[in-house]
Structure 1
Amino acid sequence: MSNFVGQPQGDDDVAIVKDELMIKDEPVSADEEAAQDEKVDLEEASSHFLIAKEPSISNSNTDASLQSYLSRFTCHLCGYRAGQRCHLREHMLTHSDEKPFACHICEYRAIRSSHLKRHMVAHTGEKPHVCDICGYRTGYPSALKTHLRTHSGEKPHACEVCGYRVARFGDLKAHKRTHTGEKPYSCEFCDYKSGKLSNLKTHTRTHTGEKPYECDICEYSVGHCSALKRHMRKHHGIVSGAALKRLMR
């Protein structure tokens, strides 16, 4: 399918689009023809992106279908297409440093109000989204959706290199670095680098001495979750995964 940005450039372009939409040529009046050829109103268009003319109301289904196809709002930087002008304006913020939505508690800023609303959960501690199976609570609906996959076993994200599948998209990104060798996370204390942020956090504790994982039965504490699990099995005889999760919450 041809990619048109803005209005068609001539009769040939219109013919191609009509053919792609399976639209039959029909006689049009002079007024209808002039309306189709009307140029984009650039006075309202931002200089940052290309905007096609919004579809005009027409009694002809043919004209409506054609105008609907051509009336796209297109980003000239990445080719993103939006159905509405406001959506394109919001998209353009991803290419700039502008972040109009600011948190009144910290310095966080966002390009979307929905992002700011999601951020505020970090301050309020609110966790309204609850798992019906195990009682897990979170402040984010997306986190609950990901959590539910631990019960269903669903792994929708697949590596195109080796077929490895995971439940979380972030885990897939980290896995792909095992193929590329990329290690974007660097230790501020030494030369250690890692492809996973969680590995860097665990490593950093070897410098800081932080031991956030504590045994609920004795006073043992450690910097790594897996080390606490080994401790629970070896010293307290707890081998059930469910029991370990309850104790480590």
Structure 2
Amino acid sequence: MNSAERRDRIVEYLRIKSISHGQVYTFQIAVPESEVSEVPFEKREYLSNSLIQQGTNLIPLIVRRTEAYSEEEEYEVVYGADWCLVAKELDIEKLWVWVFDMTDEQAAAAKEEMQQLLGFSDPIVVLPSVSEDTESTQRILKQLNKLVLEVETLNKKIEQVTTSVKKLEESRSKQTNIDIELVQQFTEAVKKIIEEVPSKPLYSMKKDQLQEIARKKGVKITTRMTKTDILNAIEKADKNHVG
């Protein structure tokens, strides 16, 4: 069977019940016991560097919906277990995935075909074409440039605040009442920001902790809501607050 035939066969397996493509929380993805093994050192280094630099995986995993694990583990990885294992160790929040409905037989067949097509047990070796690589690189560079500009803007604001505080301290003897009021406002603002920032990532908190945070943000919580539902509700509330 040549490469083209293998690709057609994989598509045939996956096309039937394709659900969606996007990001899901890493804790939602279960790794079958048969896939839990020590990742070779060189591969681990490659995966770790990529996940740390990008904050997620650049190439989506193949997963399927499942009810065979815990309440929170809604998906099972079919292909790309190494990415998932290393991401869990690094506490990566979300991973890109292709979600499908597949039987055990279809999942095994799809994994086997992917391994035969690629010659490896994970999607690292899937290289884009030159044009795709160029477009992908340009998108990443644009995102990095945007991030750099945001950091520079934030640094300028910090410098402005620092300068303002210094001036307030220098002129304190002349404008005592005004200076004290401004310093208090600044202190209260910083205190509020610190109080609103969780001591650890939301997705690593327990369900009851998330419920408490959600209530403080005015989010209505029901008994049927899962941890994922609460996380999404909190994220939506924060976006609405910023907007």
TM-score by length of 1: 0.17
Bigger RCO (CA 8 Å, 6+ sep):
2
TM-score by length of 2: 0.17
Greater fraction helix: 2
